[in-house]
Amino acid sequence: MDWKLELVFVPVSDVDRAKDFYVNKVGFNADFDERPTDGIRFVQLTPPGSACSIAIGEGLTDAPPGSAPNLQVVVSDINKAHEHLKANGVDVSDVDVQDWGHFVYFADPDGNQWAVQYLPQRPNG
């Protein structure tokens, strides 16, 4: 039996601001934005090519905004990812080259921390 991680909740203070950041600056796809009941807003965003999405919204979690533990996505070209983030106004670190991978780091408007990783020894990153 497979166990697939498909959704991670990311606590934010302003859903519209976070959605704009993830969609228009980082480049995630906006999959779903609905209010299934009063007090609930569910927004699902997916990094291009990913089988796992993030959920932001209202009434989804009691976690304080900005408290998501270090989140990570993997890319096939760290320089292209860095250029994309920088060109879209994301405050992104320089490329950090380590023996086990190359990384760039950024945070969303609430301070949720992200790492973007490239693994040179792995096909397609």
**Residue 39 belongs to what domain range?**
7-61+68-118
In 3D, which of 88, 31, 90, 20 has the Cα closest to residue 55? 31
- Strands of the 40-46 sheet, one edge to the other: 7-9, 53-58, 40-46, 29-37
**Considering the domain boundaries, does residue 123 fall inside one?**
no
**Considering the domain boundaries, does residue 33 fall inside one?**
yes
pLDDT per residue as tens digits for the range 57-91: 999 999 999 999 899 999 999 999 999 999 999 99
**Considering the domain boundaries, does residue 124 fall inside one?**
no
**Considering the domain boundaries, does residue 45 fall inside one?**
yes
pLDDT per residue as tens digits for the range 9-27: 999 999 999 999 999 999 9
Strand partners, 72: 115
The total number of structural domains in the chain stands at 1
**Considering the domain boundaries, does residue 32 fall inside one?**
yes
